Amino acid sequence: MTTDITPLLASRLLERGWMMATAESCTGGLISAHCTELAGSSFWFERGFVTYSNTAKTELLGVEPLLIERDGAVSESVAKAMAWGAFDRSKAQVSVAVTGIAGPGGGSIEKPVGTVWLAWCIEGLTSAEKHCFSGSRTQVRDATVQCALEGLYQRLL
């Protein structure tokens, strides 16, 4: 189920000779799966980190536990730290990270179901966006994948 943007993203990365990495929480590896469905993805997809638990975010990506405690796992600061960690702990020049609440439970007034923070790291510079997606768990996760890949593509233009 390759998204329409994936071949364009692949071409952009190949043109630059760059590799990408992912750091995924709420999508559980779906971004990596989308990328690697495209034949030849080993030329531009370096690795994926599935860091669903807070412990995994800390151990695999170097996200500070105090950051998670202070801001919550679903926050701009944690998303940026995840993106930086994937960049720093891989051989990729770009990374994308997602952390959110896919539902159907787990939401709050401050962070309702569908709240997702996405972050991108391009050659060490990070940026992030918050989105509030609606729909089922599957719809939230699919929208997150699409937004993550489109966001990376736009940042590479």
3-state SS, residue 94: strand
Averaged pLDDT score across all residues of the chain: 96
- pLDDT for 14 beyond 50: yes
Q: What does 100-150 look like in DSSP terms, one character per residue?
A: E--SSS---SSS-TTEEEEEEEETTEEEEEEEE--S-HHHHHHHHHHHHHH
pLDDT tens track for 101-145: 999 999 899 999 999 999 999 999 999 999 999 999 999 999 999
pLDDT tens track for 79-100: 999 999 999 999 999 999 999 9
Contact between residue 135 and residue 97 where contact means Cβ atoms under 8 Å apart: no
Q: Which two tokens stand for residue 96?
A: 């994308």
- pLDDT for 3 beyond 90: no
Helix (H) or strand (E) holding 33: helix 30-36
Average pLDDT over residues 30-42: 97
User: What crossing angle do the helices spanning 76-88 and 54-61 adopt, rounded to 10°?
Assistant: 40
pLDDT at 4: 84
The β-bridge partners of 25 are none
